[in-house]
């Protein structure tokens, strides 16, 4: 699909585990897998998925995030699912009456990146479609993570929460700095070429009578130069603009067989 | 739903417009609306939605983001959809062979927040489900925004891209209002004035015969628009440039009774 570089295999570097507790809809498991894959996460764990595993709807919704789907592990209990982890965060949209630190996604991602960067596994818990996580599940976590949503309209679903936290994790880990492509902006032309453009334009405008008030000419010229300089034109672009000026300028000089000569109807 | 505080009405503070170009599936419009609502965005604009508007699937998928759905505006052309905006970013997953700056989401969000924080409207373009944005659409934007996805697996859909950028915008906007602002951006003309300049220049060049190879015209036009857009021209500067074009084109001199007729020295 647009943007995928098929020549590159996904590298399975250590990343946070994503643990879904009793996910109800296969489709949501699949979209979570796909969301993870976009940001290099691959370790998906399911605790008592309602419709079991494997799950056809999940596989379809994962849209070729095969490397994630193939590695899904299923557990009977949350304790087993997080047994190897040394840092666990519980993602939830509503506040809990618990003595548990609440973190935003950035702080959570920073901590996860630090933990994993030093070789210690970590993970994020996500709850059921309607009910989120149970308090007993939150109790197993080091802290709560919540997303800074608009209080009047908070409706992130599981896959969206997974997407945002995967994005934040990547942003905070080493891979995160790089964009998949950058601008291949050509060099700005040497100043003398820009000055050449100015000269061409200004002499053309002198001939076309653009500068109606001679005493204002310097100011107008400076304004024109200022606005053109902001374009940071490359050499190619300057050539193009000079072609534009020449083309428009020559137009009026071309004999036009259809143009009425003054008084020609008396010829 | 979990997390929503029903006592709070969403406040419609100025936020970036989200513009979907020829969205194919109503469902994706709806999930985009819902994604926006989570982060306080509400200004959704559609350019030639394939299935028209209103759209039942969109409304259902919006999952009660009514305040967004109610305010959806539909346009025949992208130019009309962005006419009032002074900063426009084009979201794309694949690199383009264009002299266009590429930004990550954070820098984009910082700039959008600064622009909107100083009272100037701005927006983000998103393309079609399969093909993304057309080059001519990207050409109308100030810069490209791309998300830092895993190159081996890049499969963000429209709503996910909307979600991530809305999230980033919100993250930057509380702090963003106080950012100092550069003078060059401060008075950029609304996009429709720039489009007016393009139209003027291009029709003049059509008549002057500048476009020697008709099949290359779209590329040449996109390049011209790209280089002119970089100038970030104010309304006054656009008026000046249109005056430059008209002057070189000698509009004010046609017809000219004093102009030498060919062969007049034999009269």
Q: Which of residues 13-52 of A touch B (CB under 8 A)?
A: 34-35, 37-40
Per the listing, tokens 């020697």 go with: B212
Q: How far is B75 from chain A (nearest CA, A)?
A: 26
Establish, for the pair of chains A and B, how many residue pairs have beta carbons separated by less than 8 Å.
Answer: 243
Both structure tokens of B136: 């001519």
Q: Please choose, from the candidates A64, A49, A69, A77, the residue with its C-alpha nearest in 3D space to the C-alpha of residue B153.
A: A64
On chain B, the residues whose CB falls within 8 A of the CB of A249 are: 248
Cis before A104? omega within 30: no
Is B201 within 8 Å of chain A by CB? yes
Q: How far apart are CA A213 and CA A192, in angstroms?
A: 28
Average pLDDT value for residue range B122-132:
94
On chain B, the residues whose CB falls within 8 A of the CB of A152 are: 4-6, 8-11
Q: Please choose, from the candidates A55, A56, A50, A48, the residue with its C-alpha nearest in 3D space to the C-alpha of residue A74.
A: A48
Residue B7 has pLDDT above 80, yes or no: no
On chain B, the residues whose CB falls within 8 A of the CB of A259 are: 255
Contact A179 B130 (CB under 8 A): no
Is B186 within 8 Å of chain A by CB? no
Contact A155 B3 (CB under 8 A): yes
- pLDDT, position B176: 38
Q: Please provide the DSSP assignment of B248-265 as one string.
A: HTTGGGSS-TTSPPTTGG
Please measure the distance between the N-terminal and C-terminal CA atoms of chain A and give it in whole angstroms.
Answer: 69
pLDDT tens for A107-157 read: 999 999 999 988 889 999 999 998 899 988 998 888 899 998 887 787 889
Q: How far apart are CA A163 and CA A168, in angstroms?
A: 9
DSSP B42: -
Q: Please choose, from the candidates A36, A21, A25, the residue with its C-alpha nearest in 3D space to the C-alpha of residue A82.
A: A21
Both structure tokens of A233: 């034109």
Name the residue facing A248 among B5, B8, B248 (closest C-beta). B248
In sequence order, what are the residues at sequence separation of 6 or more whose Cβ sits closer than 8 angstroms to the Cβ of residue B156? Answer: A3, A38, B93, B147, B149, B164
Cis before A54? omega within 30: yes
Give the CA diameter of chain A.
103
Q: What is the ipTM of this complex?
A: 0.73
Is B263 within 8 Å of chain A by CB? no
Q: Which of residues 211-230 of B touch A (CB under 8 A)?
A: 220, 223-224, 227-228, 230
Contact B253 A209 (CB under 8 A): yes
Contact B39 A131 (CB under 8 A): no
User: Residue B262, class by beta-carbon neighbours within 10 Å (0-12 exposed, 13-18 middle, 19+ buried)?
Assistant: exposed
On chain A, the residues whose CB falls within 8 A of the CB of B189 are: none
Pick the residue with more confidence: A251 or A213? A213
pLDDT tens for A34-49 read: 999 999 999 999 999 9
Per the listing, tokens 């000269």 go with: A199
Q: How far is A72 from chain B (nearest CA, A)?
A: 17
Contact B2 A131 (CB under 8 A): yes
Both structure tokens of A96: 């809990």
- Taking the model in full, what pTM does it have? 0.77
Phi and psi at residue B238, to the nearest 5°: -65, -40
pLDDT tens for A72-118 read: 999 999 999 999 988 999 998 877 777 778 899 999 999 999 999 88
Is B185 within 8 Å of chain A by CB? no
Q: How far apart are CA B68 and CA A155, in angstroms?
A: 14
On chain B, the residues whose CB falls within 8 A of the CB of A38 are: 147, 149-150, 153-156, 160
- B102 torsion bin: left (phi>0), alpha (psi -120 to 50), beta (else): beta
> Do A14 and A145 touch, CB atoms closer than 8 A?
no
SS3 B102: strand
Residue A170 has pLDDT above 70, yes or no: yes
Q: How far apart are CA B123 and CA A241, in angstroms?
A: 29
Q: How far is B48 from chain A (nearest CA, A)?
A: 21
Q: How far apart are CA A157 and CA A30, in angstroms?
A: 13
pLDDT tens for B183-241 read: 444 478 999 999 999 999 999 999 999 999 999 999 999 999 999 998 889 999 999 99
> Do B38 and B163 touch, CB atoms closer than 8 A?
yes
Is A101 within 8 Å of chain B by CB? no
SS (H, E, C) chain A: CCCCCCCCCCCCCCCCEEEEECCCCHHHHHHHHHHHHHCCCCCEEEECCCCCCCCHHHHHHCCCCHHHHCCCEEECCHHHHCCCCCEEEEECCCCCCCCCCEECHHHHHHHHHHHHHCCCCEEEEECECCCECCHHHHCCCCEEECCCCCCCCCCCCHHHHHHHHHHHHHHHCHHHHCCCCCCCCCCCCCHHHHHHHHHHHHHHHHHHCCCCCHHHHHHHHHHHHHHHHCCCCCHHHHHHHHHHHHHHHHHCCCCCCCCCCCCHHHC
pLDDT averaged over every residue in chain A: 86
Q: How far is B115 from chain A (nearest CA, A)?
A: 19
Q: Please choose, from the candidates B118, B46, B81, the residue with its C-alpha nearest in 3D space to the C-alpha of residue B195.
A: B81
């Amino acid at each position: 699909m647009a943007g995928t570089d098929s020549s590159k295999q996904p590298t399975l570097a250590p990343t946070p585990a994503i643990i879904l507790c009793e996910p109800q809809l296969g489709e949501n498991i699949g979209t979570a897998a796909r969301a993870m894959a976009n940001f290099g996460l691959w370790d998906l764990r399911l605790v008592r998925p309602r419709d079991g595993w494997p799950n056809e709807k999940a596989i379809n919704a994962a849209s070729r995030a095969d490397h994630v789907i193939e590695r899904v592990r299923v557990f009977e209990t949350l304790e087993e699912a997080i047994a190897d982890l040394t840092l666990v965060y519980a993602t939830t949209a509503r506040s809990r009456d618990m003595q548990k630190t609440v973190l935003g996604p950035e702080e959570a991602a920073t901590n996860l990146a630090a933990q994993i960067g030093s070789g210690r596994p970590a993970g994020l818990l996500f709850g059921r479609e309607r009910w989120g996580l149970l308090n007993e599940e939150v109790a197993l976590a080091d802290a709560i993570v919540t997303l800074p949503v608009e209080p009047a309209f908070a409706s992130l679903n599981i896959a969206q929460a997974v997407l945002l936290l995967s994005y934040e994790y990547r942003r905070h880990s080493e891979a995160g700095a790089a964009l998949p492509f950058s601008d291949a902006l050509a060099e700005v032309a040497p100043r003398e070429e820009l000055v050449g453009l100015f000269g061409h334009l200004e002499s053309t405008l002198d001939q076309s009578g653009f500068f109606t008030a001679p005493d204002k000419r310097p100011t107008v010229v400076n304004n024109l130069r200022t606005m053109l300089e902001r374009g940071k034109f490359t050499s190619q672009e300057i050539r193009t603009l000079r072609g534009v000026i020449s083309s428009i300028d020559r137009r009026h000089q071309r004999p036009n067989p259809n143009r009425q000569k003054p008084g020609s109807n008396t010829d």
